[in-house]
Amino acid sequence: MKFSVLGAGSWGTTFAKLLIENGHEVLLWARREELAEQINKDHVNLEYLPSIELPPTLIATSKIYEIEQFSDNLVIAVPVKYLQETLEKITTVPKTVINLSKGIDSKLRTVSSIVASKWQRVTYAILSGPCHAPEVARRLPTSVVIASEDEYTANLFQSALSNEFFRVYTTEDVLGVEICGAVKNVIAIAAGVLDGLGHWHNAKASLITRGLHEITRFGLAMGCKSPLTFMGLAGMGDLIVTCTSNYSRNRYVGEMIGKGMVLEDLLSNMKMIAEGVHTVGPLLELAKSLNVDMPISQKVYEVLFLGKKPHEAIYELMKRPLKIENEFKQIDLQPASRDI
């Protein structure tokens, strides 16, 4: 098969490498010409994937019209913050979109909704799960899930992507997988704050558990197809790795905030995007519209943007009214009417 990969960051480059290793043809789009030239000449992406040798047959370009001409299987691997403006540069309609990006944009849209606003009839799939790029690039065992409402598409790409170190499962719950990928980044910032305060293991385990509960409550209120999605690779799996791994940009942001660093200074020194920083505001707007309480996400927002001290935020979380552990029976599980 042939694939056009939109975005030459760490995950986009790694995914292109995976496709090449699986016998497919790939053209990788980089926003900057010098990065494309480096990949083509030196077969390495020093900025986003250092120390990883790339296949000589992996070709990169900075000309977006070339990826349109190359394949009608379009892989999205650009930050959600910049996705709309990037898609506007594409003039042709792809047959299939495979999304690797995770987040909710300022217009309160997941990636499937952003794509649908550009191309109404394109076949859409999302790949997600615990898959930090450096480990996939090093061919370490990884399992993920691909979600599509079209069963044939999910099965097709499951076979096309799977190999001896990269195992792909399928699901129809597109929105559930998208919600998991977006909200777990916010929870990971909170987990990083605990690391910055001194690696509080009891608190972190509790945070991950209650964070998963928070993601599930929000996802069900949004109308996701199955609560089991949140217990799977896109939910629990991705949440665990993002909250604990040193590769996690969102966890790193939280850790530095916990150590007293100012958010603006921190972001100005980062090469890659921490999606949770840009997701938390729109997430809370959506939650408010659905009358869903998201206390952890709320405190992340207050610490990041309102100057609240981490210790104060933690105290307020711990002093919330006491309640039963499992509140799902109290949630209206009717699908939300919101189009996202």
Q: What is the predicted pLDDT for the residue at 272?
A: 82
Measured CA to CA, the distance from residue 182 to residue 80 in angstroms comes to: 10
- Give CATH superfamily name and number for 2-174: NAD(P)-binding Rossmann-like Domain (3.40.50.720)
Mean pLDDT, 10 residues at a time, the chain of 340 residues: 97 98 98 97 96 96 96 96 95 97 96 96 97 97 98 98 98 97 98 96 97 96 94 98 96 96 90 91 97 97 97 98 80 49
Determine the pLDDT at residue 110: 97
175-330 is a CATH 1.10.1200.10 domain? no
Model pLDDT, residue 70: 97
CA atoms within 13 A on the CB side of 226: 12
Q: What is the pLDDT of residue 43?
A: 97
- DSSP tally for the chain: helices H, then strands E: 16, 8
Q: Is 102 a catalytic residue?
A: no
Listed by start position, the domains of the chain span 2-174, 175-330
pLDDT reported for residue 273: 86
Helices (H), the chain: 10-21, 33-42, 64-70, 83-87, 111-118, 133-137, 151-161, 174-197, 201-222, 228-231, 238-244, 249-258, 263-268, 275-289, 295-305, 310-318
Of 102, 184, 204, 299, catalytic: 184
